[in-house]
Amino acid sequence: MNKIIILIQVIVLLFTQSLLAQPTKADTIHVSHYDINLEIRDFTKKEIKGYTAVTVEAKIAPLSSIYLHFWGLTVDSVRKGNSPINFLHQGQQLKIDLPFTSTEQSETIRIYYQGQPVQEQFGGFYFTDNFAYNMGVSLYSVPHSFGRVWFPCIDEFTDKSTYTFNITTDADKKAICGGILIDSLDLGDTKRWTWELSDPIPTYLASVAVGKYLVYKDTVNSISGKMLPIEIYADSARIGRVPGSFANLKTFIHTFEKRWGACRWQRVGYVVVPFSSGAMEHATNIAYPQFAVNGNTSNQDLIAHELAHSWFGNLITCATSKNMWINEGFARYGEYLCDEILDPSLQKYKAGLKSLHFKVLRSDNGLYALDNVPTSATYSSTSYDKGGLVAYTLRGYMGDDKYFSTITQFLDENQYKNVDSEEFFQKLSIISSIDLHDFFLGWVHQPGFLNFNIDSIKPVAGENNMYDVAFKQKLYLAHNFADNNLIDVEFHSAAGESYLIERILFSGEHQILQLNIPFEPVFWSIDPNSKMGDACFDYTQQLFKTGDISFSDGNFRISVDEISDTSVIRIEHNPVAPTPAKNIHPNIAKISEKHFWRVGFIQYNNMQATYSFVYNQKYDGNMLQGHTSEELVLLYRKDASCDWQIIPATITVTGIGTNISGRVSVNSILSGEYTLGIGKDLKINEWDRSIEIYPNPVADELRIKNYELRIDDKVNIYDFSGKIIIFNSQFSILNSINVSHLPTGTYILEVTSKENKAYTKFVKL
């Protein structure tokens, strides 16, 4: 067995060494220009033929041969001038005997080829009865860059070249390519179309589309001072729908120029193709699907996304596929930047980002750091959606002025270059004078998400309005705590006042900071304006009518039975374990290690409602192993400085087996933290059935019957902000307490027995 293992290791080592010894493509040579000359006319056999002239420069010398990517087509010959050159075409690699003696040497060779190009579900060269076109990226093949299926090239993100396209078509068709159309030559039954792209791009951004195209032309004033051409090519069936579908294109151009600087390209171009799986950001010639040209703006997010690549992806490009979030994440966030401009109320912008945040948090499994995504997941939600969420979070961290001005300068200084994630943040740090290294480590260089909370707030002795605020950082699928976090917190008083402190700086797992707060806070909201994509499903909801409201990702539900005026509730559902309990509760066998809630009223008016905490397999399956739903208990504490208490609740089972789910419901709620646990040795107290508070509503005297209060029982009355109104009151021998001095409203009566059992009741005065 050991000999076999050693033999395999030797074979693998020798194979690896042979690959390393063999000259790699972008490391050894650079292609400065491609002159692609193709005839695209055979729609029956779906074949192309012609040659590409490749201008090659050596990066190292001496070289005896060069290597290019080329796949699926047959090479007929390779020539330098009039002389043939030896070549070997195997698989996806084309070896050409072209010697270089100096790094100053430049050579141009012509490679003649023909055949039927490769196509995949997404990526390759496609033929239909009336169209031929390429999609420059493969979602499945490696490298993902897919120029090699229609011209020999260095098919890597880091090699950028200029292009000339000479495409011969039937006389009734046009060839649309990247760059500017500089000539069209009528050859009788054929035409030759010549396009020049003078800005350097990687091969995946090179493009061609052949069909019976008409053109919609317009111009837009660029902030650079030049008039920027707009050209949108479509067939006769769709050209009339272009103005309606692209109605906001100029607004999108202005948006990106305002945010990221002037458009540096020769034109803004789209070409409509019969592709059903999406669009492709080919430089100045975006391949846009026919289905999306419907005459209205329902698909304009796709227009905005592909246009955003003119800055992120095309102008600057990720150095490796592991860093694809730089291309796709900023393009995804670009969609929301357009929403921000289109709707001054910001409703769509905020709702869209909230939806993106929750989608990412709900679906990301924490396998990959954003800057280390494997090739199998290059074009996954991690790069697009989480990348977009982090691009947005970076805006909140830096602040608008620094964020946009820094990115604009970065794009100016690095146009047509490649960048990886660490270099990206290093350059942003230098330009902005904001050290972003800790942001990079916390949000990009590790999987998962950061979670931020406050464990407790305590007054500082002898200091008016000064409080010790104990910040807590938790990790959801992440590995390391982040430093130099900037967190917004809004504090709320019992009287309904609010006070927002922005950009509170703290580091590590926990840190106590002294903050000046103009009142005693009874509740607080973390990141109330949703500036970051943290590990928290948070909702701020107005309640103004009866009925049910479900917060699906919040695992929370409210059923309002009666309401007199608008109330505002805040729910923060944290998919992490709560801070451990101070003391072990004798009647709690387990406490959730998967999630907890922080719930409170920002504004409360008289109402009656049922509040339900939803449990399910995802969060509570492990805790419930070996237990039944009937053993679940609802736990409450004001904050992490207090002990957990069991709150009597009603359990409703909605799923069983592998789909375990249900609700744990109460008819009153206090501001503070809630989680679920497994109870033990509980004597079920039929509070709602056997114990009565009367009268309810109460006038002057609050009375209890069917329960004999004992000398050790603690009786508290809270208002709905969580503030204790009556503390440790002693009921009279008649089990009554005078509440005539309290204003009309809704309160919580809490009775805690000496056995540490807590009973609560909803009381109206």
pLDDT digits (tens, 9 = 90+) for 447-498: 999 999 999 999 999 999 999 999 999 999 999 999 999 999 999 998 889 9
The angle formed by the CA atoms of residues 288, 290 and 291, to the nearest 5 degrees, is 110
Identify the band that residue 740 occupies on the pLDDT scale cut at 50, 70 and 90.
confident
Q: Which residues contact 599 (CB under 8 A, 6 or more apart)?
A: 556, 569, 570, 571, 572, 611, 669, 671, 672, 674
pLDDT tens figures, 701-721: 877 776 666 666 777 787 755
Residues 557 and 515 in one domain: no
Per-residue pLDDT at 24 exceeds 70: no
Is 730 within the bounds of a domain? Answer: yes
Query: What is the span of the domain harbouring residue 653?
Result: 538-679
Q: Which residues contact 662 (CB under 8 A, 6 or more apart)?
A: 614, 615, 629, 632, 651, 652, 653, 654, 655
How many C-beta atoms lie closer than 10 Å to residue 253's C-beta? Answer: 22
Higher per-residue confidence, 20 vs 24: 24
What gap in Å lies between CA 158 and CA 149, rounded to an integer?
18
The residue type found at 454 is I
Residues 453 and 510 in one domain: yes
Tokens of 427: 């350059």
Q: Which of 198, 127, 201 is nearest to 169 (CA)?
A: 127
Cis-peptide, bond into residue 143, ω within 30° of zero: yes
What gap in Å lies between CA 415 and CA 142, rounded to an integer?
25
Residue 313 phi, psi dihedral angles, 5° rounding: 120, -55
Specify the residue for token string 């023909």: 114
pLDDT of residue 688: 42
The angle formed by the CA atoms of residues 292, 294 and 295, to the nearest 5 degrees, is 130
CA dihedral 139, 141, 144, 150 (to 10 degrees): -110
Domain end, chosen from 628, 651, 679, is at 679
- Give the bridge partners for 317, in sequence order: 418
Identify the band that residue 15 occupies on the pLDDT scale cut at 50, 70 and 90.
very low
Mean pLDDT estimate for the chain: 91
Identify the band that residue 256 occupies on the pLDDT scale cut at 50, 70 and 90.
very high
Tokens of 47: 């074949």
For the ranges 250-264, 544-558, 633-647, 708-722, the lowest mean pLDDT is seen at: 708-722
Is 30 within the bounds of a domain? Answer: no
Is 214 within the bounds of a domain? Answer: no
Per-residue pLDDT at 21 exceeds 70: no
Is 78 within the bounds of a domain? Answer: no
Per-residue pLDDT at 671 exceeds 50: yes
Residues 360 and 376 in one domain: yes
Residues 590 and 707 in one domain: no
pLDDT of residue 71: 98
Residues 639 and 567 in one domain: yes
Q: Which of 342, 315, 340 is nearest to 327 (CA)?
A: 315
Residue 178 phi, psi dihedral angles, 5° rounding: -70, 155
The residue type found at 622 is N
Per-residue pLDDT at 758 exceeds 80: no
Chain mean position to CA 257: 23
Per-residue pLDDT at 378 exceeds 70: yes
* Kind plus residue range of the DSSP H or E element containing 350: helix 347-363
pLDDT of residue 51: 98
pLDDT tens figures, 310-338: 999 999 999 999 999 999 999 999 999 99
pLDDT tens figures, 337-353: 999 999 999 999 999 99
pLDDT of residue 708: 65
For residues 257 and 249, is the Cβ–Cβ distance under 8 A?
no
Q: Would you say the C-alpha torsion 328, 330, 336, 337 has a positive or negative sign?
A: negative
Average pLDDT over residues 96-105: 95
Residues 359 and 454 in one domain: no
pLDDT of residue 25: 80
Is 208 within the bounds of a domain? Answer: no
Average pLDDT over residues 237-241: 98
What CATH code is carried by the domain that includes residue 757?
2.60.40.1270
What gap in Å lies between CA 241 and CA 703, rounded to an integer?
73
pLDDT tens figures, 422-441: 999 999 999 999 999 999 99
pLDDT tens figures, 181-214: 999 999 999 999 999 999 999 999 999 999 999 9
Identify the band that residue 684 occupies on the pLDDT scale cut at 50, 70 and 90.
very low
Identify the band that residue 686 occupies on the pLDDT scale cut at 50, 70 and 90.
very low
pLDDT of residue 762: 66
Higher per-residue confidence, 5 vs 101: 101
Residues 435 and 529 in one domain: no
The residue type found at 248 is N
The angle formed by the CA atoms of residues 634, 637 and 639, to the nearest 5 degrees, is 140
Average pLDDT over residues 109-136: 97
Domain end, chosen from 679, 713, 733, is at 679
Average pLDDT over residues 594-611: 93
% helix, strand, coil for the chain, step of 5: 25, 40, 35
Q: What percent of the chain has pLDDT over 70?
A: 91
**DSSP conformation letters of 505-555:** EE-SSEEEEEEE-SS-EEEEEESTT--S--S-EEEEEEE-SSEEEEETTTT
The angle, 0 to 180 degrees and rounded to 10, between the axes of the packed helices 249-260 and 325-342 is 120
Identify the band that residue 408 occupies on the pLDDT scale cut at 50, 70 and 90.
very high
Is 391 within the bounds of a domain? Answer: yes
pLDDT of residue 736: 76
What gap in Å lies between CA 705 and CA 495, rounded to an integer?
32
What gap in Å lies between CA 94 and CA 562, rounded to an integer?
76
Average pLDDT over residues 622-651: 93
What gap in Å lies between CA 324 and CA 317, rounded to an integer?
9
pLDDT of residue 329: 98
CA dihedral 252, 255, 256, 260 (to 10 degrees): 180
* Kind plus residue range of the DSSP H or E element containing 112: strand 106-115
For residues 476 and 449, is the Cβ–Cβ distance under 8 A?
yes
Average pLDDT over residues 109-125: 97
What gap in Å lies between CA 674 and CA 638, rounded to an integer?
9
The angle, 0 to 180 degrees and rounded to 10, between the axes of the packed helices 387-398 and 400-414 is 120
Residues 656 and 577 in one domain: yes
Average pLDDT over residues 279-301: 98
Tokens of 221: 């004033």
What gap in Å lies between CA 354 and CA 750, rounded to an integer?
36
pLDDT of residue 116: 98
Average pLDDT over residues 110-123: 97
Is 526 within the bounds of a domain? Answer: yes
Average pLDDT over residues 733-740: 72
For residues 118 and 148, is the Cβ–Cβ distance under 8 A?
no
What gap in Å lies between CA 433 and CA 442, rounded to an integer?
19
pLDDT of residue 182: 98
For residues 675 and 619, is the Cβ–Cβ distance under 8 A?
no
Residues 694 and 648 in one domain: no
- Give the bridge partners for 289, in sequence order: 273
Domain end, chosen from 420, 444, 468, is at 444
Residues 664 and 543 in one domain: yes
The residue type found at 724 is I
Is 227 within the bounds of a domain? Answer: no
Q: Which of 125, 102, 101, 98 is nearest to 111 (CA)?
A: 98
What CATH code is carried by the domain that includes residue 351?
1.10.390.10
Residues 609 and 740 in one domain: no
- What's the structural domain count of the chain? 4
For residues 648 and 760, is the Cβ–Cβ distance under 8 A?
yes
- Relative to beta strand 672-679, strand 661-666 is unpaired
What CATH code is carried by the domain that includes residue 506?
2.60.40.1840
Q: Would you say the C-alpha torsion 169, 175, 179, 185 has a positive or negative sign?
A: positive
Q: What percent of the chain has pLDDT over 90?
A: 81
Specify the residue for token string 């260089």: 445
**DSSP conformation letters of 446-512:** SSSEEEEEEEEEEEPTT-TTEEEEEEEEEEES--S--SSEEEEEEEEETTS-EEEEEEEEE-SSEEE
Helix segments in 202-308, DSSP class H: 242-245, 249-260, 300-308
Per-residue pLDDT at 660 exceeds 80: yes
Q: Which residues contact 608 (CB under 8 A, 6 or more apart)?
A: 560, 561, 562, 563, 667, 746, 762, 764
Residues 416 and 467 in one domain: no
Specify burial of residue 686 (Cβ count, 10 A radius: 0-12, 13-18, 19+): exposed
What gap in Å lies between CA 294 and CA 242, rounded to an integer?
8
